[in-house]
Amino acid sequence: MLTFLNKLARFDNRCKRLRRITGGYLPAASSLITCRLNRRKTVSGKYISLPFRFRGIDENALHEVLIDNEYGFLDEMLRETPAPLVADIGGHIGLFAIHCFAVNAKSRVRSLEASPGTFKILQKNAVQLAKTKGLDWRAFNRAAWKDDTIIHFDDSGVSMSHRVSALGSTEVSGMTLADFMTTVMHGQTVDVMKIDIEGAEESFLCENAEPLRNVRRLVIELHPNLCDTARVETIVKAAFPKVCLIGARTSSKPLLDCRK
C-alpha cells in the first residue's frame, strides 16, 4: 500500500511540474500515461507561446531546461544581443533552442544532433516553429566529433544519455568543430555556443580548438565518467579568460560558463 501511495505521490508531483508545458494538470497526466505506454511516442507541449513535440524519454531534459530554467543565466546576454547567433551542439529535441527563442525571438539557432530518432523530432520542432512563428532555426543530423568518419552511436534508454559509443548500433557521420564553424556558421562570430554531447566534448574540442576564437560565450556540460574533463577544461580556459562553474543544478555534472 505504501509503495502504491509513493508512486501516486510521485506521479502527482510530475503532473504538477509538467502542467506548465502541457497547459494543465489533466493534459499533463494524459501525456505521462501516453508516454508510459510508449516512451518514444510524441505528445504536444508548449513553452510560453512556442509549441513543440516531446517523448517520455525526454522528460528529464524537459524539466532541466524549460521547467527548472537551468540556462537562465544566459537570458541577459540573449536579450541584449539584437539577433544572437546560437550554436546548439547536442541539440536534443530543441529545448535549449526553444529557450533561446522564448527569450529573444530574433535568435538565429543552428542545432547539431547525432541521434537519428531524436533528430527527427528536433527537425519537426524546428520546421514547425520556423513556419508558424517565423523563427530562424536550422537543424543538422551529425555527431560532434574529432573527424568526419562514420561513428557508432548508442541511442537506447533515456534520451539525455544517448552518446557516441563503440557498442552503439546506430551509425552517424561525425562533424568537427572547424567544419561546423565553416559550413554551418559560415565563419560568423557565434554569440553563444552550448555543448552537451555526453562525453564527446573532449574529441570535439581538443582535436582543434582554434575555432573557439570566433565564439563569444561558451556553455559546456562536462561528463567526468566519459572523457578526460581536465583536458577539456585546459582547452576551454586557454580560449576564455573567464570560466565559472554554474551551481544549484539538478544534475551533478559540471556546467561551465565561459566568457571572453
* Residue 84: closest CA among 220, 212, 193, 239: 193
Q: How many CB atoms lie within 10 A of CB 81?
A: 17
Question: If you average pLDDT over every residue of the chain, what do you get?
Answer: 92
Please state the domain extents for the chain: 60-259
158 has pLDDT over 90: no
CATH match of 60-259 with 3.50.50.60: no
Query: What pLDDT does residue 188 have?
Result: 97
85 has pLDDT over 90: yes
- Predicted confidence band of residue 250 (pLDDT cuts 50, 70, 90): confident
- Predicted confidence band of residue 160 (pLDDT cuts 50, 70, 90): low
pTM, rounded to two decimals: 0.92
- Residue-level length of the chain: 260
What torsion do the CA atoms of 248, 250, 254, 260 make, to the nearest 10 degrees?
-60
Cα angle 225, 230, 236; round to 5: 120
* Residue 146: closest CA among 193, 200, 196, 97: 200
With H, G, I as helix, E, B as strand and everything else as coil, classify residue 164: strand
Tens digit of each residue's pLDDT (9 = 90 or more) over 220-232: 999 998 999 999 9
159 has pLDDT over 60: no
Amino acid at 126: A
